[in-house]
Amino acid sequence: MKYIVGIGGVTNGGKTTLTSGLLRSLPNCCVVHQDDFFKPQDQIAVGKDGFKQWDVLESLDMEAMLSTVRAWLDNPPKFARAHGVPVQPGLPDTHILVLEGFLLYSYKPLLDLYSRRYFLTVPYEECKRRRSTRSYEVPDPPGLFDGHVWPMYLKYQREMEEGGVDVVYLDGTRPRAELLHQVLEDLHNSLLNCS
């Protein structure tokens, strides 16, 4: 069985932390990070807001990401071995791919591939505080969070909801261990219902 899990949501909401926990906890589990598909900095447009448009779908090579997902779908064990993930023989033939990113549910060709979609949320103040403590390869210019990052998050969340994308909302302020336990339990129940 092939099972694709989306871990989406707000910037600094805990997506990567949750994904890392899933990778440690689930056998035959691979990950694809949306951040690995950013276009080069010189290809990122400057918007009307005066900021480089990192938080829009056009800043990502989504066709390359989709191609990577298709490579996994074609042969999960081969994909796992190529990415250094041990394939555990003797387990039920279940392979899990976690897609992690901030715009996972905005790219239509990926939408139907998910078996389960999660969406982490964090209140504005906490998100801004977390973002200010992170260091990025390309540092945030002053005003980026309020002028671009947060408005784009609200825009894409609204579009996702208006489009009827079915997600399980997760509170990113809850303790990491609780979130991981909640998702593992939900996935376990979902996988049992699939088999």
CATH superfamily of 2-192: P-loop containing nucleotide triphosphate hydrolases (3.40.50.300)
Residues 64-81, mean pLDDT to the nearest whole number: 95
Residues near 143 by Cβ (< 8 Å), separated by ≥ 6? Answer: 51
Q: Report the percentage of the chain scoring pLDDT > 90.
A: 75
pLDDT tens, position by position, 133-175 = 887 777 788 888 999 899 999 999 999 999 999 999 999 999 9
Instruction: Report, as an integer, the average pLDDT of 181-185.
Output: 97
How many Å apart are CA 58 and CA 75, to the nearest integer? 29
Report whether pLDDT(105) > 90: yes
Average pLDDT, the chain: 92
Task: Please tell me which of 78-87, 128-137, 159-168 the model is most confident about, judged by mean pLDDT.
Answer: 159-168
Residue 115 predicted with pLDDT over 80: yes
pLDDT band at 195 (very low <50, low <70, confident <90, very high): low
Residue 35 a catalytic site member: yes
Q: What is the pLDDT of residue 109?
A: 94
Instruction: Read off the pTM.
Output: 0.92
> Active site residue: 35, 49, 146, 166, which one?
35
What pLDDT is stored for residue 137 in this prediction?
74
Lowest mean pLDDT among 10-24, 71-85, 89-103, 163-177: 89-103
Q: According to the model, what pLDDT value does residue 128 have?
A: 93
